[in-house]
Amino acid sequence: MHIRLFHKTNSRSQRILWLLEELNLDYELVFGDTDIPNQEFEPHQNNHPPTKFPTVHIFNDHSTDVMTLAETAAIADYLSHQSNNLGISQLSSAEILHYYFWKNFAEATFMPDLALKQIFAQIVERTPFPVRFISKFLKFGFDRGYLNQALNQHLFMIDEYLKTRQYLAGNQFSIADLLLWFPLLACMQSNTEFESLPNIQRYLQHIQNRPAFQRALEKGQWSAVQFRSYWSKAW
């Protein structure tokens, strides 16, 4: 199996690049930028230039067909299943419950709330100055009425859970850890209030010390400065 990953620097596709390194899969990396409408991707069978990142093209060894798959969690589940690694195969029944909860919490609850913070910030930034006060008022109301409280609850819940744990599911690194990493890091680096959460700080340092993570940072052209700057605007 050969993977072609369409990747945008500092985006959620970094997690799939990390996964490919963890699984030691054969892959190639194609950098894209949604801000460049004329970005040219080499044409492939049954495929068009991707409109979202990450997207993968999957080339099977015994077939000429090329499969296209998007959505971070879907890609992670598929590659984990194909490799029989970083999933549930070595987890106990209780650990499997934690695995499914945290994996889905990361993508279905945590990431959407965080994305809303960024969406409202972008709306404010792009609103013409004479009427910008309207979008600022809407952002303030939504932040105060829901988002800030929800994200605070998420972070404090995670910190409490990690008090006696190295990983989210059992004693081994899994897809759940990989998926939670992005929204967790975005929150921790964008709001100084969260810097006082020691268990999350320890956890992030622990998983980011993995060799595959370090290789993925370099190959994906990750910029910690740009990442922090981008997400800080959401607050």
Give the pLDDT of residue 185.
97
Contact partners, residue 51, CB within 8 Å, separation at least 6: 34
Give the pLDDT of residue 195.
85
Tokens linked to 224: 């910690």
In terms of DSSP bridges, do strands 66-70 and 26-31 run parallel, antiparallel, or are they unpaired?
unpaired
Tokens linked to 172: 């081994």
pTM to 2 decimals? 0.89
Q: Check pLDDT > 60 for residue 9.
A: yes
Reading phi first (left if > 0) and then psi (alpha if -120 to 50, else beta), residue 86 is in left
| CATH code for the domain defined by 93-232 | 1.20.1050.10
The domain spans of the chain are 2-83, 93-232
- CATH assignment of 2-83, among 3.40.30.10, 3.40.50.1950, 3.30.420.40, 3.40.1360.10: 3.40.30.10
Instruction: Provide mean pLDDT across the span 57-67.
Output: 86
Instruction: Go through the chain and tell me how many residues it has.
Output: 235
